[in-house]
Amino acid sequence: MARRTTNLKTLQMKNYKILLFTFLIVPLLSFSQKKAKDSIVEKPERPAFESSSIIDNQTNVLFNKNTLEVVMQHRFGLMDEENSLLGIYGANSNIRIGLSYSILDWVTVGYGITKKNRVSDFNLKAGILRQTRSGSTPFSLTYYGNIAIDGRSGSANDGVFLTRQDRYSYFHQLILARRFSPKFSMQIAPSLSHYNAVDYGYENDRISVALGGRLKISPQTSILFDYSQPITSLEDDPDTGLSYNNPGISLGVEFSTSAHAFQIFITNFNGIVPQQNYMKNTNDFFDKGMLIGFNITRVYNF
Amino acid sequence: MKTIKIFTIVGIFSFISFSFTTIMQDKWIVPAKYENMKNPTNPKEDLAIGKSLYNKHCKSCHGKEGYGDGTKADGLKGDLGDFSTAEFQSQSDGALYYKTTIGRDDMPEFTKKIPDDEDRWLIVNYMRTLQE
């Protein structure tokens, strides 16, 4: 009996060896197959957009490895504010200064600071799929996400944070973009925003979807539009009666040169940081909620 | 003493005459590999993309028509060339491709800004349309 068990054991051992060998050889086989396929040239499509953002949302654009992008985003006060020269002198203006660096051709990491709530955000953008010229991959798929930290002092009238975790908020977005022609590109971007701490009775998470596009009207000028629709419904503010469910509507133009992109637009979002826009916005585009804003980028290649 | 005087005079004259010469730009030598390189693109296709790339990356120095009169041209030292002239257009496609790709002095190299070789060929094709 004992001998039979040993026999069985050696047999099992042998089987394992065969299995192990097969598994080890599989990558080699699949590699050689991949190489054969690669001989068919599949060129990626040219970028769908000029810069890494389209007004209030990110685009699928990723720069080459070792590219530094400096971003300055500004949102003036509300255009309807009295005696404010269309909001230019207005209160509640917001600004973000950000840096992002492409560590790989398909991965960009960044950091930015925003005036509103003294937010610091760390972000990551990664290309998953690239549209090809033959159309075998009809669209690009890109992930964008961030971790933002509310940096206010925490005194009673400046937002109260019981724990450090209460300062954190997160944003995840999948960007599906397609360049339809050299002039026209569009993207759809579903997203999830999450705040660790919200006021009593509110949701911590919100699912939204954004639709954006650009139409080139001259070699360097394009018209941009960006529409952000919240899907998860939030309650109105009990104190002010303001709604948190207004869609974000943004319209603008973009001028781009070799190293710069300049976007000027009208929008109702003033948060700049995406989860702030998606969850905390109360401006209604059609009810005195419009404001002027601009984004400037400078790209350095190393 | 006399020889020193003569040398001084000759020295001064030669120094003066130097100040009337403009420093000539060295001839831009294109390696044979590029000089004879075949343009892989169809020069009639995708001209709009070439124009768009030219406007984005080249116009600010070389000017809209390639006269070398762009808004940034005054700040540059070298001769920017005139793309509309027959002399300029007599260069081979490969030579233009080399100069646009590699650059020298104030002319930057464009392999990072325009990583796809095909896109730089499209710019060459567009520069051909600037001949007058």
Question: For residue A32, is pLDDT > 60?
Answer: no
Closest-CA residue of A relative to B54 is A219
Looking at the complex, does the CB of residue B113 fall below 8 Å from at least one CB of chain A? yes
Looking at the complex, does the CB of residue B117 fall below 8 Å from at least one CB of chain A? no
* Helix or strand holding residue A216 (H, E): strand A205-218
Contact flag B56-A301 (C-beta cutoff 8 Å): no
Looking at the complex, does the CB of residue A51 fall below 8 Å from at least one CB of chain B? no
Q: How far apart are CA A4 and CA A10, in angstroms?
A: 10
* Helix or strand holding residue A32 (H, E): helix A2-38
Looking at the complex, does the CB of residue A64 fall below 8 Å from at least one CB of chain B? yes
Q: How far is A42 from chain B (nearest CA, A)?
A: 13
Minimal Cβ distance to A301: which of B51, B60, B112: B112
pLDDT score, position A33? 45
C-alpha distances in angstroms, A215 versus A218, B26, B56? Answer: 9, 44, 16
Most confident of A33-37, A191-195, B58-62: A191-195
Share of residues in chain A with pLDDT > 70 (%): 87
Contact flag B51-A256 (C-beta cutoff 8 Å): no
CB A245 within 8 A of CB A272: no
CB A171 within 8 A of CB A271: no
pLDDT score, position A295? 96
Beta bridge partners of A186: A178, A213
Question: For residue B72, is pLDDT > 60?
Answer: yes
Q: How far is A67 from chain B (nearest CA, A)?
A: 9
Q: How far is B118 from chain A (nearest CA, A)?
A: 11
Looking at the complex, does the CB of residue A165 fall below 8 Å from at least one CB of chain B? no
Which band of pLDDT confidence, cut at 50, 70 and 90, is reported for residue A26?
Answer: low
Which band of pLDDT confidence, cut at 50, 70 and 90, is reported for residue A163?
Answer: confident
Looking at the complex, does the CB of residue B52 fall below 8 Å from at least one CB of chain A? yes
User: Under the phi-then-psi rule, with left for phi > 0, alpha for psi from -120 to 50, and beta for the rest, what region is A138?
Assistant: alpha
Do the interacting molecules here have an ipTM over 0.85? no
pLDDT score, position A37? 42
Q: What is the mean pLDDT of residues B29-40?
A: 89
Q: How far is A256 from chain B (nearest CA, A)?
A: 7
State pLDDT tens for residues A224-281.
999 999 999 999 988 888 999 999 999 999 999 888 999 999 999 999 999 999 999 9
Q: What is the mean pLDDT of residues A178-202?
A: 93
CB A187 within 8 A of CB A176: yes
A vs B, Cβ pairs < 8 A, gives 31
What is the SS3 assignment for B125?
helix
Question: For residue A107, is pLDDT > 80?
Answer: yes
pLDDT score, position B112? 87
CB A255 within 8 A of CB A221: yes
Contact flag A182-B115 (C-beta cutoff 8 Å): no
pLDDT score, position B26? 77
Q: How far apart are CA A1 and CA A275, in angstroms?
A: 68
User: Which residue, among A232, A222, A129, A235, has the nearest Cα to A190 in the 3D structure?
Assistant: A232
Contact flag B112-A219 (C-beta cutoff 8 Å): no
Share of residues in chain A with pLDDT > 90 (%): 68
pLDDT, mean over chain A: 88
CB B99 within 8 A of CB B25: no
Minimal Cβ distance to A301: which of B113, B118, B119: B113
Question: For residue B30, is pLDDT > 50?
Answer: yes
Question: For residue A22, is pLDDT > 80?
Answer: no
Looking at the complex, does the CB of residue A46 fall below 8 Å from at least one CB of chain B? yes
Residues sharing a CB contact under 8 Å with residue A89, sequence separation 6 or more, in sequence order = A77, A83
Contact flag B119-A219 (C-beta cutoff 8 Å): no
Closest-CA residue of A relative to B60 is A257
pLDDT score, position B14? 76
In the block, tokens 């207004």 appear at A246
Q: How far apart are CA A22 and CA B114, in angstroms?
A: 44
